[in-house]
Amino acid sequence: MIIGIIGAMREEITPLLDIFKQYTTHQISNNIFYEITYKNSKIFIAYSKIGKVHSSITATTMILHFGCQKILFSGVAGGLNQNLKVGDLMLATKLCQHDVDITAFGHPLGFIPESSVYIHTDERLNTIAREVAKDQNIILKEGIIASGDQFIHNQDKKQWLIENFQADAVEMEGASVGMACHLFNIPFCIFRSISDSADGNADISFDEFLEKSAKTSANFVKHMVDAIL
Ligand code: SAH
Q: What is the fold, at CATH topology level, of the domain defined by 2-228?
A: Rossmann fold (3.40.50)
**pLDDT given for residue 126 in this prediction:** 98
Q: Is the CB of 210 under 6 A from ligand 1?
A: no
Q: Do residues 84 and 193 touch, judged by C-beta distance below 8 A? A: no
Please say if 208 is a catalytic residue: no
Kindly list the distances between the CA atom of residue 121 and the CA atoms of 64, 85, 189, in Å, as whole numbers in the listed order: 19, 22, 5
Residues with pLDDT less than 50, the chain:
none
Give the DSSP H or E segment for 4.
Answer: strand 2-7
Mean pLDDT score across all residues of the chain: 98
Q: Where are the beta strands (DSSP E) in 60-151?
A: 70-79, 89-97, 118-120, 140-147
C-alpha of residue 133 to centroid of ligand 1, in Å: 25
pLDDT for 66: 98
